[in-house]
Structure 1
Amino acid sequence: MRFADRRDAGRALALRLVDDYYGRDDLLVLGLPRGGVPVAYEVAAALEAPLDVFTVRKIGVPGREELAMGAVASGGAVVMNYEVADMIDIAPRDFDEAAERALAELARREEVYTKGRPPLRPEGKTVMLVDDGLATGSTMRAAVRAVSELGPERVVVAVPCAPSSACRELAAMVDDLVCVSSPAWFQAVGQCYQRFDQTSDEEVGELLAAAADRP
């Protein structure tokens, strides 16, 4: 299955979710920026649920920024990848300083996205984390760990496409996982889309504002 674009993928994903989640008053849809927000916008609209952004930013190893020794996320959650942290033997103070820098950048991005609107609180909610797809699933795993620290009742992951290996790993971490398409040969999320242009910060902000204005 190939989706026309992220909005089309969101509508296809919503069809898989509507029977179990339509109209629930405890549901909160959180899109992972940037590409997950257009998908989440369509999901939230179809399910008549509130929409917000859940920003995740990795904490890179100093000098090897591509290697994540942890992640920070919306709400101030900090998650350490203990396997990597132990491997490089990083001092706690150095980790804390890197986490503070990542949190500052995350706060800056959230200000751009939300224009100062207070975040929707996940405590006691069924939280649905939505992205435009999974490759390795590392970003979504960090999001799941982070949002779980904020007191939700249930955590759901919903994506248009992902390899079956990533789905199996994530399914063990959450209460429900919904994926529309798991191609047998999976190389990148972009292969599931006819159009996979980069989502801009402006589009993210516009979709969140439009969702906030919905009755």
Structure 2
Amino acid sequence: MTTTFHDREDAGRVLADRLAGLVGHSDVTVLGLVRGGVPVARVVAERLGVPLDVLVVRKLGLPLAPEVAFGALGPNGVRVLNETVAARLDAGEVADVQRREQAELERREQRYRAGRPPLDLTGRTAVVVDDGLATGATARAAVQVARHLGARRVVVAVPVGSQQAYEMLAAEADEVVCAERPADFGAVGAYYFDFHEVSDDEVTNALAAIG
């Protein structure tokens, strides 16, 4: 039977139980994907006794099919390109998408990283947490960005996700922990009683609570 989570904190508790083998590991950093993944990640980090940080990733999507990514942007100037997909676009289209997503990434970085040092994952196990996997495109971009930031090992951890997204991430990450993989997966929000839009304030409060 598929579990329905009360809210993201409830989902975080379930996910933390699945990650219990990482309790107290000194080389682990939990990374919440902005914004919905951060409340889940806060509970996971708290229960594992490891640092929490935020990973701002912007997917570079095709202009007429935004869910199809030709690359991704991350902090510290990280850019990952899928050359095969990017080749479908002319240089101007690539530049337009990248400029727009870079501006949003910088806005979010300034908002969420105020007073925090640049994200450095060198030699660490990065546990990338989101509130669910639909297509998995953003999580895939996050895996690539985490590796470029020096992560030794990348684990994707989500409360619920589609089987297709799980399989795609399993080929990218070192490990994927997904508490529920319903056969008839629909939208992520369908598995939560409370799936409100997470605000900027919720993100900064979570980061202030545990870091």
Question: TM-score of the superposition, structure 2-length normalised?
Answer: 0.92
Instruction: Describe the superposition over 1:73-112 as per-residue Cα deviations: whole angstroms up to 9, x where unpaired.
Output: 1232112233331223x22x65356434422321211111
Percent sequence identity over aligned pairs: 50
In structure 1, the residue matched to 2:123 is 124
In structure 2, the residue matched to 1:26 is 27
1:107 aligns with 2:109: no
Alignment of 1:86-165 (within 5 A): 86-88=87-89, 90-91=90-91, 95-96=94-95, 98-165=97-164
Deviation at 1:166, TM superposition (A): 1.1
Instruction: Point out 4+ residue stretches in structure 1 off by more than 4 angstroms.
Output: none
| Greater Cα offset, 70-79 or 161-170 | 70-79
In structure 1, the residue matched to 2:191 is 192
Cα separation, 2, equivalents of 1:173 and 1:59: 18
Deviation at 1:187, TM superposition (A): 1.0
Deviation at 1:43, TM superposition (A): 0.3
Cα separation, 2, equivalents of 1:25 and 1:120: 16
* Aligned-partner residue type, residue 15 of structure 2: L
| Greater Cα offset, 169-178 or 113-122 | 113-122
Three-state SS of the structure 2 residue aligned to 1:139 is helix
Question: TM-score of the superposition, structure 1-length normalised?
Answer: 0.90
Q: Which one of the candidate residues 4, 7, 10 is aligned to 2:9?
A: 7
Q: Is the 8 A contact 1:113 1:202 kept in 2?
A: no
Instruction: Describe the superposition over 1:107-159 as per-residue Cα deviations: whole angstroms up to 9, x where unpaired.
Output: 21111112231134100001100000000100111111111112111110000
1:59 aligns with 2:60: yes
Gaps of 5+ in 1: none
Deviation at 1:160, TM superposition (A): 0.3
* Aligned-partner residue type, residue 173 of structure 2: V
* Aligned-partner residue type, residue 122 of structure 1: L
In structure 1, the residue matched to 2:72 is 71
Three-state SS of the structure 2 residue aligned to 1:87 is coil
- C-alpha RMSD over aligned residues: 1.7
In structure 2, the residue matched to 1:180 is 179
Gaps of 5+ in 2: none
1:40 aligns with 2:36: no
Cα separation, 2, equivalents of 1:98 and 1:164: 29
* Number of corresponding residues: 208
* Aligned-partner residue type, residue 32 of structure 2: G
Cα separation, 2, equivalents of 1:153 and 1:97: 33
* Aligned-partner residue type, residue 171 of structure 1: A
CA 1:165 to 1:101, structure 2 compared with 1: closer, same or farther past 3 Å?
Answer: closer
Deviation at 1:192, TM superposition (A): 1.2
